[in-house]
Amino acid sequence: MTKVSVIVPVYNPGERFDACARSLLGQSLPPGDCELVFVDDGSTDGTGERLDALAAQHTHVHVRHIPNSGWPGRPRNVGLQLAAGEYVFFADNDDWLGDEALERLHAAAQADGADIVIGRVVGHGKTVPRGFFKRDRRGIAFDSPDLLRLLTPHRLFRRSLLDDHGIRFPEGRRRLEDHVAGVHAYFHARRISVLADYPYYHWVGHGTDANASLGGFDPAAYYTDLREVLDVVEAHTEPGPWRDALMAHWYRGKMLGRVGGRGWLRGDGEHRRAVYEEVRRLALERFGPGAADGFAYNRRLRARVLREGSFEELEALAAVEDGVRLRARVAGAAGGELRLRGRVSGLPAGALGELDRASLTVLLRAHGDRGEYALPARTQARAAGADVELESVTALARAALPPATWDVVARASVAGFTAADRLRVRLETAPDGRARLGRSVLPPGVRERGVRGAARVRDRVARLRRG
């Protein structure tokens, strides 16, 4: 039996498909042990012919052409019908895999008896939940809502898990189709493994509508689709703490996370109000007054205002969050550890009561391909008047970073309020795993404070470098 089938929906990727194809054809898992199933969703840019040529050159490449469905759910399901592998892996046509990804994922599935294996995802212009890959978790049960933090389909599934329980992706123009399928699979998986030891999947964002999921955000349609995800949870759980913990994931992120925070006020006012109305309707429909009790302080504030206040009050709260600032610096680097110190200002007084969950973490952004790694850190926090002072230690030696040159960004979180500061240093990592700090990457006296002024500072830097 073929060990792994890789299923790739393809629609008009253009030259972005090259990296995906190279990475799949170059896998260390031999062609006799894997197959590549490309489902052409009615491409009109010549990709269909390119796929047929690949299939003619490689016996383990299979292609199916279907009429355009407009969304990845149907081509994924068609690919699943064609797949012969014991395991299936879903990839997108503009992403790519690490050279050893399939071999490592299959070995972990066999060793752990796992039905689902999630390898470390690296975002390139996409945000990967920070901390999700801070350590390996091998052969675990679905007993923590933490596994909901990443529900993209880019993972290894035992095919019998999907077939035996009728798990398929919703078809048509549907948001959150990967949440519906992924959560359904979690409920039936005997064991799940999360691997942090290698960059398995490179997830690419282009900032265009080339990817169907990046199209316009229709609040009414989106929250109708979210109700379907919540229906899956309710169908597989009884009322009680476990169901509440799972439901809280979408309440915190997809609902409260969309009615405030940084950047909220920069959107269109009419669209913001439409989102607010849909979120409030769903909150009153599915979540009780205490549903946000376990959330960080800023989300509890939003939940209370959402239920009891007004749209204008949410706008005022968003202005407070936009005003939170971080100033950070490197305090030292020795013995494979990076020490940071930072000061967060602009916090509301209530935030100072939740310093036990404060963090100051390191984000590394690779030069050239915009790949981002979030590195876990040990953080200490203390109140300093109305501000909060943070100190953290990051173990670079255990980060398993590929050779690259990185910009270093400090990111602080206090009571749910966040801010970032790009540091005037760069980090260089070598093939042997060693890391060292290099020279400043910004002209003297220029710093990016937080995220609001980032574009303005980049423009200033460009002007200074041009003379």
pLDDT in tens, 257-275: 999 988 888 888 899 999 9
Q: How confident is the model at residue 433 (pLDDT cuts 50, 70, 90)?
A: low
- Asked whether residue 375 is assigned to any structural domain, the reply reads yes
Q: How confident is the model at residue 391 (pLDDT cuts 50, 70, 90)?
A: very high
Q: How many distinct structural domains can be found in the chain?
A: 3
The pair of structure tokens assigned to 338 is: 């990076």
The pair of structure tokens assigned to 309 is: 């206040």
- Asked whether residue 121 is assigned to any structural domain, the reply reads yes
Same domain, 185 and 242: no
**Single residue among 322, 337, 359 that ends a domain in this structure:** 322
CB 277 within 8 A of CB 285: no
Q: What is each CA distance from 100 to 24, 27, 197, 200, in whole angstroms?
A: 10, 6, 12, 8
- Asked whether residue 335 is assigned to any structural domain, the reply reads yes
CB 161 within 8 A of CB 115: yes
Q: How confident is the model at residue 216 (pLDDT cuts 50, 70, 90)?
A: low
Q: Cβ neighbours of residue 179 under 8 Å, at least 6 residues apart?
A: 151, 229
Same domain, 127 and 145: yes
Q: What's the CA gap between 305 and 310, in Å, rounded?
A: 7
Same domain, 345 and 426: yes
Judge whether residue 382 has pLDDT over 80: yes
Q: Cβ neighbours of residue 309 under 8 Å, at least 6 residues apart?
A: none
Same domain, 381 and 282: no
Question: For residue 439, what pLDDT is reported?
Answer: 54
Question: For residue 442, what pLDDT is reported?
Answer: 39
**Single residue among 164, 184, 207 that ends a domain in this structure:** 207
Among 269-283, 414-428, 436-450, where is mean pLDDT lowest?
436-450
Judge whether residue 441 has pLDDT over 70: no
Among 108-122, 158-172, 281-295, 332-346, where is mean pLDDT lowest?
332-346
Provide the CA 106 distance to its chain's centre, in angstroms.
22
- Asked whether residue 165 is assigned to any structural domain, the reply reads yes
**Single residue among 322, 347, 373 that ends a domain in this structure:** 322
Same domain, 171 and 129: yes
Judge whether residue 4 has pLDDT over 90: yes
pLDDT in tens, 72-113: 999 999 999 999 999 999 999 999 999 999 999 999 999 999
- Asked whether residue 260 is assigned to any structural domain, the reply reads yes
Same domain, 298 and 276: yes
Q: What is each CA distance from 444 to 230, 409, 424, 440, 441, in whole angstroms?
A: 51, 17, 8, 8, 9
What does the pLDDT average to over 243-262? 94
Q: What's the CA gap between 274 and 220, in Å, rounded?
A: 8
pLDDT in tens, 44-63: 999 999 999 999 999 999 99
SS3 342: strand
Question: For residue 319, what pLDDT is reported?
Answer: 92
Question: For residue 431, what pLDDT is reported?
Answer: 76
Question: For residue 453, what pLDDT is reported?
Answer: 39
Query: 């995802």: which residue's tokens?
Result: 121
CATH number at residue 167: 3.90.550.10
What does the pLDDT average to over 241-264? 93
**Hey, how many other C-beta atoms are within 10 angstroms of the C-beta on 337?**
16
Q: How confident is the model at residue 414 (pLDDT cuts 50, 70, 90)?
A: very high
**Residue among 104, 273, 279, 254 nearest 178 (CA):** 254
- Asked whether residue 442 is assigned to any structural domain, the reply reads yes
What does the pLDDT average to over 185-209? 87
- Asked whether residue 212 is assigned to any structural domain, the reply reads no
Q: How confident is the model at residue 206 (pLDDT cuts 50, 70, 90)?
A: low
Same domain, 21 and 91: yes
Q: What's the CA gap between 273 and 313, in Å, rounded?
A: 12
User: What string of DSSP letters covers 345-379?
Assistant: ES--GGGGG-GGG-EEEEEEEETTT-EEEEE--EE
Judge whether residue 137 has pLDDT over 50: yes
Same domain, 71 and 25: yes
- Asked whether residue 92 is assigned to any structural domain, the reply reads yes
Question: For residue 366, what pLDDT is reported?
Answer: 83
CB 91 within 8 A of CB 204: no
pLDDT in tens, 354-378: 999 899 999 888 887 657 788 878 9
Judge whether residue 447 has pLDDT over 50: no
Same domain, 360 and 317: no
What does the pLDDT average to over 280-298? 94
Q: What's the CA gap between 331 and 314, in Å, rounded?
A: 37
Q: Which domain holds residue 392?
A: 325-466
Same domain, 385 and 336: yes
HSE, CB side, 13 Å, CA atoms: give it for residue 175: 15
Same domain, 297 and 422: no
Q: How confident is the model at residue 282 (pLDDT cuts 50, 70, 90)?
A: very high
Same domain, 310 and 329: no
